[in-house]
Structures are given as C-alpha cells and as structure tokens.
C-alpha cells in the first residue's frame, strides 16, 4: 500500500496536448475516482500512472519513490483494463497466476492465492475455462482477480464496469467497494459514469480536457461545485443553468424571470456582471405562491416525477420526489430554496463565493 502523488503531469501525443498539467494527491488506502466526459484523458492519465505511457512532463510518486520514468513492471501496481486485456490462450487460473509465475512464486503459494482470489470473486467453478468461454461480467472478474493476487501498492481500474449490464454493474460496484474495504489497497478508479463516481469514491477528481476541474468528496462536489463544468457534470438529472444578471437584489433571467438570490451574496458587487444561476432539479418544490410556469413535459417513474416547466420563456427542469398530479400544459407554481442556489460567473465559469 502506498500514497500516490501526481505533480504537474503532462502528456502530449505529438502536437496534441492530452494531459495539460494535473496535480493530484492520493492518501494511502484511499479510493479515488477519476471522472470526466469521454476523451478527457482519464485513461491516458491512468496509463501514465501505470507506466504504460511515457510522461511528457511532471512527476509521479508512488509512496516515497519517484516512478515517472520507471517501467510499468517496476512500479508494483496492478491494473484492470477497459477491455480487460486477459491472456486469451490461458485458462482463468493461469491468467490470475501469471504475475506470480513470473515472480517465480512456489506452486503452493500460487495455488493458494489464486484460490483465495477466486473465492472472493466467485470464480471457483470457472478456473479451467479460457477467456473466450466466459461472459463479459466473468471476464471482468477475472481481470480483477488478476489484480488481487498481485497484492500491489496501488490498484488502477479503467472503466471496468462499462461493458456490463445495468444490474450487474450495480452489483459489481458494491463488490469492488467491499473488496477495497477488506484489503484497503490504494485505488484509482476511472469512470465516465458519475453515479459510479458518487457511490464509490472517497474522493472524486473531475477531469475535463486534460485539466483537473475539482477534487473533493462526492458530497463536496454535489454541494459546492467549483465551476459550471462540475456543476453540470455531477448530479443527475443535470443542474438547471439560467443566464442573467443581478438587478435590484434579485436575479433577472434574460427572459425577464425573477429568481431569489442566496443570502449573503454581495449583490452590489455583481451589478451588471453576466452570471449563471444554477439550481438542481431535485431542489425545486411545488409551492402555491411561487414562480408560475406551464408544464411542457412530464415523466413519472413511480418513485419520482420529472417535469419541464416553461417559466416566462425560461426552461426549468424539476424533479419531485413526492408524487404530485400534474398534466401536460397545466400551470404549476414552484418554489426554490435560495440556500441551495449556485451562482457562477458566466465569463470565467467559476463559482461566485457565497
């Protein structure tokens, strides 16, 4: 087990700058999730940590050791690949035992470790199969097993669940967390699925275009997103963004809609500045004397009601956790809690500190 420190890491592919200076500190035993949209450089960053991709700048430390220019095999990390990358010609047990075989571990030790990993992952009955005779979920578990038997300093996971069906994904999510609780190895986990990030992480790193947008616990990111990107990325359904300015102590949207401001905002300071008003759909309630709008769209799932309102030309999405009767084109009044409102500077995208 070890901490991981990434200092100003950069990666260029020719002229393309994929990672543009990333700093991350990961404590020993922490479960860190890297999230970001497709193509933002998550896999690349992970491969840099693994040593499969040469760094173009900056340093990477595992424990006290600088590993930036070490070969992958000297870094003592284990990785689960996005596509599993199993050895196609080896049985499940050979796949899992391969690293030990290379280390010239004894037959007995190898069998013990493989058997233990297999029982953790429920692979006991598949040990003699070849990868092509397994389902996607089983392959994914073999890839995990291969990592577990290693007993490495750091686990690296690259979207290991992306090929699974929704149900299996939820189940594996829990199993990976349980595994981490049990063996406590520092883990870096890449995903583009923000639900996975929120449910699994001790700490989330939001990556966008090769830069870190924000680092924090899942709830920090949810409650206080640093910028528009994080605000829009974390949370589902996505946050409402309303463009406008502050006028007379109120937020005036472009279409003229007036919205309440959070307390303590130095309204005067922002007079005339173009701002973005952010409110999460789940923080909007139906309220008799609130803002009036027309229902444009209703989707009920039984447990919640999702609606799109047209309030003076401004689209506002609402998520009601209680069951309320609304009809298409009916008029509905909503209220929002000013303390749950986020204000961003439109020009910089940064959160306006409240």
Partner 1 sequence: MISTDRAVPSYRLAPNYRPFVMPALIVVCAVIIFPWAFTVWMSANDWTLGQARTFVGAENYINLALDARFWESLWHTIYYTALAVILPLFLGTIAALIFDEQFPLRGFLRGVFVMPMMATPVAIALVWTMMFHPQLGILNYFLSLVGIEAQGWIYDQATVIPSLVIVEVWQWTPLVMLIVLGGLAAVPREPYESAEIDGANGWQKFRYLTLPMIGPFLMIAVIIRTIDALKSFDIIYAMTQGGPGTASETINIYLYNVAFSYYNIGYASAMAIIFFILIVILSFVLLIVRQCTVWSQAGDGK
By the rule CB under 5 A, 191 interacts with Mg ion: no
Give the nearer residue to ligand ATP in terms of CB position, either 10 or 346.
10
**Residue among 6, 32, 33, 50 that touches partner 1 (CB under 8 A):** 50
**Residue among 2, 30, 35, 43 that touches ligand ATP (CB under 6 A):** 43
By the rule CB under 6 A, 197 interacts with ligand ATP: no
Applying CB under 5 A, which part among 24-32, 35-43, 51-59, 102-110 lies near Mg ion? 35-43
CB of 150 to ligand ATP, least distance (A): 23
15-34 residues near ligand ATP, rule: CB under 6 A: 16, 18
Spatial CA neighbour of 140 closest among 128, 123, 153? 123
Residue 153 contact partner, candidates Mg ion, partner 1, ligand ATP, none, CB within 5 to 8 A by sort of partner: none
By the rule CB under 6 A, 249 interacts with ligand ATP: no
Spatial CA neighbour of 170 closest among 203, 198, 205, 131? 198
Give the nearer residue to ligand ATP in terms of CB position, either 13 or 328.
13
d(CA 71, CA 73): 5
The token pair at 190 is 């890449």
CB of 86 to partner 1, least distance (A): 7
Applying CB under 8 A, which part among 70-78, 111-119, 256-264, 311-319 lies near partner 1? 70-78
Spatial CA neighbour of 311 closest among 249, 244, 228, 255? 255
Residue 16 contact partner, candidates Mg ion, ligand ATP, partner 1, none, CB within 5 to 8 A by sort of partner: ligand ATP
d(CA 73, CA 76): 7
**Residue among 113, 146, 173, 203 that touches partner 1 (CB under 8 A):** 146
By the rule CB under 6 A, 192 interacts with ligand ATP: yes
Q: Which residue is nearest to ligand ATP (CB)?
A: 43
Residue 13 contact partner, candidates ligand ATP, Mg ion, partner 1, none, CB within 5 to 8 A by sort of partner: ligand ATP
By the rule CB under 5 A, 187 interacts with Mg ion: no
Residues 39-58: x where in contact with Mg ion by CB under 5 A, - otherwise, as a string = ----x---------------
CB of 16 to ligand ATP, least distance (A): 5
Beta bridge partners of 60: 6
State the pairing for strand pair 258-259/154-158.
unpaired
By the rule CB under 6 A, 125 interacts with ligand ATP: no
CB atoms within 10 A of CB 39: 12
Q: Which residues bind Mg ion (CB under 5 A)?
A: 43
Binding interface with ligand ATP (CB under 6 A): 13, 16, 18, 36, 38-44, 192
Residues that bind partner 1 (CB under 8 A): 50-52, 71-73, 77-79, 81, 83-90, 98-99, 101-103, 130, 132, 146, 150
């Amino acid at each position: 087990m070890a901490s991981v420190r990434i200092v100003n890491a950069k990666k260029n592919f020719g002229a393309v700058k994929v990672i543009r200076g990333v700093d991350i500190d990961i404590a020993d035993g922490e479960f860190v999730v890297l999230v970001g949209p497709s193509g933002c450089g998550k896999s690349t960053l992970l491969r840099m940590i693994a040593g499969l991709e040469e760094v173009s700048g900056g340093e990477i430390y595992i424990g006290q050791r600088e590993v930036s220019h070490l070969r992958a095999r000297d870094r003592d990390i284990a990785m689960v690949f996005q596509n599993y990358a199993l050895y196609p010609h080896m049985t499940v047990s050979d796949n899992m035992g391969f690293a030990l075989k290379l280390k010239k571990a004894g037959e007995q030790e190898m069998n013990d470790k493989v058997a233990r990993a297999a029982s953790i992952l429920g692979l006991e009955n598949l040990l003699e199969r070849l990868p092509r005779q397994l389902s996607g979920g089983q392959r994914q578990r073999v890839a995990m097993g291969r990592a577990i038997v290693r007993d490495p300093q750091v686990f690296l996971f690259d979207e290991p669940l992306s090929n699974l069906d929704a149900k299996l994904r939820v189940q594996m999510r829990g199993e990976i967390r349980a595994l981490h609780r049990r063996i406590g190895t520092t883990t870096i986990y890449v995903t583009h699925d923000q639900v996975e990030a929120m449910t699994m992480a001790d700490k989330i790193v939001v990556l966008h275009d090769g830069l870190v947008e924000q680092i924090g616990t899942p709830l920090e990111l949810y409650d206080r997103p640093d910028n528009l990107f994080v605000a829009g990325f974390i949370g589902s359904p996505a946050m409402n963004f309303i463009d406008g300015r502050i006028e007379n102590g109120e937020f005036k949207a472009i279409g003229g809609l007036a919205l309440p401001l959070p307390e303590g905002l130095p309204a005067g300071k922002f007079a005339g500045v173009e701002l973005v008003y952010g409110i999460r759909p789940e923080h909007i309630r139906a309220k008799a004397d609130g803002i009036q709008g027309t229902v444009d769209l209703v989707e009920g799932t039984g447990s919640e009601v999702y609606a799109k309102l047209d309030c003076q030309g401004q689209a506002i999405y609402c998520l009601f956790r209680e069951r309320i009767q609304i009809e298409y084109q009916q008029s509905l009044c909503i209220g929002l809690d000013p303390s749950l409102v986020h204000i961003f500077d439109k020009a910089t995208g940064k959160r306006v500190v409240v």
